Each structure stands twice: as structure tokens, then as C-alpha cells.
Amino acid sequence: MSHTHVAGSIHADVASAAPHWLAVPTDVNALLPRLWSRNVAKNDSGELTIAGLTATGIAERVGTCAYVVDEDDLRARAREFADAFTGWGVYYAGKSLLCKAVARWVTEEGLGLDVCTGGELAVALAAGVDPERIGLHGNNKSSEEITSALRAGVGRIIVDSDDEITRLIKIGEELDVEPTLMVRVTTGVEAHTHEYISTAHEDQKFGFSIAGGQAEAALRRIHDHPRLRLVGIHSHIGSQIFDADGFEVAARRTLRLHAQFAQETGVELPELDLGGGFGIAYTSQDTPSTPQQLADALNRIVTAECAALGVQVPHLSIEPGRSISGPAAFALYRVGTVKRVLLDGGASRLYVAVDGGMSDNIRTALYAAEYSATLASRRSDAPPALARVVGKHCEGGDIVVRDEFLPADIGPGDLLAVPAAGAYSRSMASNYNHVPRPPMVSVKDGTITTLIRRETIDDLLALDVG
């Protein structure tokens, strides 16, 4: 497909430099609904709207760049997991996006909350989350973090190392409490995703290996200690997973260990956690499952496996993070500069630079993650041009959206929105280049609320006490 009238350009096939999965849009203004939260649309002037507000209005109120979360949407995703996984525990993975409001929303919708540092625990407690519904993760929990968690009375701690077990015994004795523990195991499953977000193959830092025998030893050590209360095995195989096969193999290996432990000790552990990592749609190539489809698949897998092993189905839990927070928010940027760069073969690429970048979304640089974008402040009649959305940082890899078709007339002052920016964007944001971190605002029924305010240069200077 060729547009010979791209404004001011050489006219090569606009798609020639695009990745195979990215189709030239028939309407460059159109939204692909599954990438956006449920209250997002475009109005007659082509402006992006969310729950009764325009992107232009939001930008005037809170500035750019900003993360804009659709409260109804995030709550609905939490509720869908709770409903689909009836009888299971569903723990929202706070590391994907955590602030007091989000902690309240997910727990009000019936979920528990996973944290993996003392900082995340402090936010959960400040939000008033019932400590009994909090789980503490982490491969290197400090004595201070373990002490805070035990003092607060968190419902479960997911143990990740022998050193941690030693620490738990000591601190449990000091505080005279009996910690409730799960054992994080590695199942040898390599989820089909980017290497850095596959966490259950063996050569990495998390958990105790089943194949190497360390998992069984850790279970026995905890079981045999009078002060420690062992409730079950925990497995998390990675993130952005679309394929149930990975969960099937992981559940089989985990349940085999569960059954073997029952045989050796006479104790069937009461719980089992299968982790999170359910994939979401960042671009048109992603087709996620619904919570109900996931629940049906996981229930079928676990029921069959427990029957085959002759054990009862333990109380099950999962830990979805991005599948709740990810699609619920978009990032809103303002375009500052646009450059047309000529590529080999006569094609060209628009480099659209926005007022943010790798400091507010590191995933593209870190994991080669793919994103999408749309012009958010107006309709354009210009043809689609292959574009790359880049940030303002001093780094060639400072890319927000590697490949997207945007209107060829996009220019300074236009607003650009990037969907699926709810997870691992604000939570991984940095101050690289001393860029203050953007605010997180929520929108509901035409009302905007600041959840996390914009950082200021004064905030940054306040840390610089030398």
C-alpha cells in the first residue's frame, strides 16, 4: 500500500520500513479499542476523551507528560479477576502500579495485595489495607523489611532463600510471632517472553530450584521448625505470557512437589500460588485472554493434575499485576520536535520527540517492549507516516514507541497518547537527566483527581544536600 502524497516526502511505500505486524491504518485517527481503557474514545473533533474529559482539557489542568488512569476501568479489571477466580485468592501485584488510591481500589474490589519491598508495604499500610491480605515478596528482604512485615501482621511472606529463612527464625523469635510462609520455587519453565521477564528458568536469582532439590529442602526446613508456619508452594513463571502451556507445565511440576511433600511428611499443604504474568495488549499484535478464560484453563489444569496425583486441590491463588493496572492508564505527552529521517531504500521515518521518554517509560529500552500511540488533540486528514516516538533524554535508546503510524502532519504542540501505560511505567520511573517524574491522575465521571503529584525541580534539589 502506497501513499504518494505524503506531505513533503519522498513517496516510497510507507510500510516498507515497518515491522511485519504493523499494518498501515485505513484511518490513522482510529483507536483500536482493546489497547485502551473502557472509558476512552475520540470525539467529533478527533480529540481523545476519557470518562467525559478531553486530553486537551487534562493537559491544560495537569500539564504533560502525565499518566492518566481510568478508575472505573482499573476497578472493573480487578473485579473481573475476583469474579472469574471465585474461591481463589487474587493478589494484585503492587509493583506494577502502586499508590494509596490504587491499593484501596483493588482491595475494595475484593483482591489482596502483593508487595516486594518495605516501601511498597508502607504504601499498602498507609492506604489502610488489611495486613492479613498483604503478601510480601522479594529475593533479598532485609531484616528491617521482615520486621516491619511481621510487626504489621502481613498474611504471608513468600520465602526466597535459605538466608531469609534464618532471618525469619531469628526475627520471629525476637518478636514472638510465627511467620506464615510460602516457598517460592523455580519450575524450569521458560515463559515465551523477553529474557529479562522470564523468571522460572533455573539460571536466575529468584526462588528455590525444584530440579536441584533446593525447593524440597527449603520446604522441609520450614516444616520442621516449630516457629515457622508453612502454608504452601509459590511459583511465578514470568510476565506478559499469552500461552497457557507455560502455566500448565509449571503447575504440574509444582503440584508434583506438593504431592511428594505430602507423601514424605503426611501433610498436604493447604495452599498453592501460581503467580501472575498474564499478557495484555500493547499493540495490535497482542491478543490477551480474559480473566474467565484464564480461570477456566488454570482450574482445568490444577484439577486434572491433583486427581492424577491423588491429592486434594489446595486453596489456590494468583497474582495479576499488569493485566489489572496496565490497560487502565495511558501516558499523555506533548510533541516538541519532529524530524524526518531518510532510510535506505527511499523510505523515511518521522522521529516524534515528546516531553518525557525513558524516565517515565523504561520498558522499551529495557525489554524492547512494543507500544502504540495516537494523536490525541485533533483529527488529522494527513496520510499515515511511519513514526518513532522518542523522548528528551541524552540517549539514543530513549524510545517510547518504536514503530507506529501517525498522521504525517504531526507537529510541535500536538498531544500524543500512549495506551497500556498503567503498569511498570510510573512504578519504574526514574529521574534520569534530572527530569522530574510525571504525575498520576485518575479520571472518573468527568472528574480528575491527582493521585501522585508531579515531581518538581525543587523536590530534586531538596535531595541534593552536599
Q: Which residues bind ligand PLP (CB under 6 A)?
A: 93, 95-96, 137, 236, 239, 275-278, 319-323, 423
Question: What is d(CA 94, CA 102) in angstroms, rounded to the nearest whole number?
Answer: 9
Our CB check for ligand PLP shows the closer of 51 and 421 to be: 421
* Cell matching residue 322: 499488569
Nearest distance in Å: CB 284, ligand PLP: 20
Report the residue closest to ligand PLP, judged by CB: 321
Nearest distance in Å: CB 239, ligand PLP: 3
Our CB check for ligand PLP shows the closer of 194 and 225 to be: 194
320 marked among binding-site residues: yes
* The one catalytic residue among 99, 116, 306, 394: 394
Our CB check for ligand PLP shows the closer of 319 and 403 to be: 319
Question: What is d(CA 39, CA 445) in angstroms, rounded to the nearest whole number?
Answer: 9
Question: What is d(CA 59, CA 448) in angstroms, rounded to the nearest whole number?
Answer: 11
Strand partners, 67: 331, 440
Catalytic status, residue 394: yes
Nearest distance in Å: CB 326, ligand PLP: 7
Our CB check for ligand PLP shows the closer of 172 and 275 to be: 275
Q: How far is CA 427 from CA 97, 181, 326, in A?
A: 5, 26, 11
195 marked among binding-site residues: no
Task: Name the residue among 17, 39, 43, 18 with its Cα closest to residue 29.
Answer: 43
* Cell matching residue 217: 529442602
Q: Which residue, chain included where needed, has cell 539460571?
A: 203
Q: Which residue, chain included where needed, has cell 480474559?
A: 290
Task: Name the residue among 266, 259, 262 with its Cα closest to residue 309.
Answer: 259
For residues 278 and 320, the answer to whether their CB atoms sit within 8 Å is yes
Give alpha helix (H) positions in 12-157.
55-62, 71-84, 100-108, 118-126, 143-152
Question: What is d(CA 411, CA 420) in angstroms, rounded to the nearest whole number?
Answer: 23
3-state secondary structure at position 75: helix
Our CB check for ligand PLP shows the closer of 62 and 165 to be: 165
277 marked among binding-site residues: yes
Does 65 sit behind a cis peptide bond, omega within 30 degrees of 0 on the bond before it? Answer: yes
* Cell matching residue 391: 523522548
Q: Which residue, chain included where needed, has cell 497482542?
A: 286
Nearest distance in Å: CB 24, ligand PLP: 31
363 marked among binding-site residues: yes
Our CB check for ligand PLP shows the closer of 167 and 322 to be: 322
> Which are the contacts of 351, defined by CB distance < 8 A and separation ≥ 6?
338, 339, 340, 341, 387, 388, 390
61 marked among binding-site residues: no
71 marked among binding-site residues: no
Tell which phi-psi region holds residue 121, choosing left (phi > 0), alpha (psi between -120 and 50) or beta: alpha
424 marked among binding-site residues: yes
220 marked among binding-site residues: no
Nearest distance in Å: CB 390, ligand PLP: 26
Nearest distance in Å: CB 204, ligand PLP: 12
Nearest distance in Å: CB 255, ligand PLP: 18
Our CB check for ligand PLP shows the closer of 253 and 388 to be: 253
Question: What is d(CA 195, CA 33) in angstroms, rounded to the nearest whole number?
Answer: 29
Q: Please state the residue numbers annotated as binding site for pyridoxal 5'-phosphate.
A: 277, 319-322, 424
Q: Please state the residue numbers annotated as binding site for substrate.
A: 322, 363, 367, 395, 424
- Catalytic amino acids? 394
